[in-house]
Amino acid sequence: MDRWIGKVAIVTGASSGIGATAVKALATAGTVVIGLARRAERVLELKKSVPPEVAHRIHSHRCDVTSEQSIVDAFALIDHQFGGVDVLINNAGVSKLTCTLLTAGNGADLRTVLDTNVMGLVLCSREAFQSMKRRSIDGHIVNINSILGHKYIGFPNLNIYGASKYAVTAITETLRNDLRNEGTRVKVTSISPGIVRTEMVPEGDQFQDTPMLEADDVVGAILYALGTPPHVQVHEVIIKPVGEMN
């Protein structure tokens, strides 16, 4: 991770779960981190749980990744205030467990999932790349995918979430090709966890006996991918809790 000390990392979806844990780990490793979320105030709260010398590397900015203007404005501000972005962790994601694909009136929920998990990730990647290109930086984009991006699993009411993560798998490889065709050495990595204990997973009996990963387990994989030497690119990491059935 030494090559990223003092460099700038953006983490989307930084207000809870994997994103919040990634913010603290990256700042602890010496990176200047800007956590983006709609609840930006929750990112600032994270500063209280780390030593002061780490806390001063944590920043936050309100950004709704379903809005292209919100993304463009956030990256422009970060370019202005911090000089640009070197690492992007595309982590923001939602599931809307309220409907199936066939439920009447489900359009807004399905669009929210696609706008967040797919278009948000694509537009943040574009803005990060433009920042890296302007400064000739060989940066790194990490996409938080899912095992559901590689295999259909029949959980109830996941509706379009699995399709959004299959899109992340295809988009990661498309980005890799585009980055190569641009003549850059910017890396792109997909990290695909099984079930992780975060606010995304509903509480209750349903998952009582289900083995789960912790956010730290996923962040360990992020740090591993970022920590590889410049000539090594981790394409895909699949991580499951021991005992997971799927």
Ligand X SMILES: NC(=O)c1ccc[n+]([C@@H]2O[C@H](COP(=O)([O-])OP(=O)(O)OC[C@H]3O[C@@H](n4cnc5c(N)ncnc54)[C@H](OP(=O)(O)O)[C@@H]3O)[C@@H](O)[C@H]2O)c1
Q: Is 116 in the site for ligand X (CB under 6 A)?
A: yes
Given a contact cutoff of 8 angstroms between Cβ atoms, the answer to whether 228 and 144 are in contact is: no
Q: Is 92 in the site for ligand X (CB under 6 A)?
A: yes
Binding residue (CB under 6 A) for ligand X from 29, 34, 58, 65? 65
Structure tokens at 162: 């699995």
In whole angstroms, what is the distance from residue 234 CA to residue 135 CA? 23
Which residue number, 69 or 181, has a Cβ lying nearer to ligand X? 69
Distances (CA, A) of 90 to 30, 49, 72: 19, 23, 15
Which of the ranges 75-83, 91-99, 172-180, 219-227 carries the binding residues for ligand X, by CB under 6 A?
A: 91-99
Q: Is 152 a catalytic residue?
A: no
Q: Is 17 in the site for ligand X (CB under 6 A)?
A: yes
Q: Is 196 in the site for ligand X (CB under 6 A)?
A: yes
Which of the ranges 9-17, 74-82, 130-138, 171-179 carries the binding residues for ligand X, by CB under 6 A?
A: 9-17
Parallel/antiparallel/unpaired status of strands 87-90 and 58-62? unpaired
Q: Is 64 in the site for ligand X (CB under 6 A)?
A: yes
Structure tokens at 114: 């696609």
Binding residue (CB under 6 A) for ligand X from 9, 15, 163, 172? 15
- Write down the least CB distance from residue 55 to ligand X, Å: 19
Exposed e or buried b for every residue in 138-150, given b needs 16+ CB within 10 A? Answer: ebbbbbbbbbbbb
Q: Is 97 in the site for ligand X (CB under 6 A)?
A: no
Binding residue (CB under 6 A) for ligand X from 1, 50, 72, 200? 200
Which of the ranges 49-57, 90-98, 124-132, 134-142 carries the binding residues for ligand X, by CB under 6 A?
A: 90-98
Distances (CA, A) of 148 to 57, 95, 142, 161, 202: 33, 12, 17, 8, 17
Residue 87 has φ and ψ, to the nearest 5°, of: -135, 135
Which residue number, 20 or 179, has a Cβ lying nearer to ligand X? 20
Q: Is 73 in the site for ligand X (CB under 6 A)?
A: no
Which of the ranges 35-43, 122-130, 171-179, 226-234 carries the binding residues for ligand X, by CB under 6 A?
A: 35-43
Distances (CA, A) of 143 to 7, 89, 146, 168, 203: 19, 6, 10, 8, 26
In whole angstroms, what is the distance from residue 146 CA to residue 103 CA? 24
Kindly determine how many residues on this chain lie close enough to bind ligand X according to the rule CB under 6 A: 29
**Which of these, 31, 171, 164, 148, lies nearest to 87 by C-alpha position?**
31
Question: Where on the chain is the footprint of ligand X (CB under 6 A)?
Answer: 12-19, 37-39, 63-66, 91-94, 116, 144, 146, 193, 195-196, 198-201
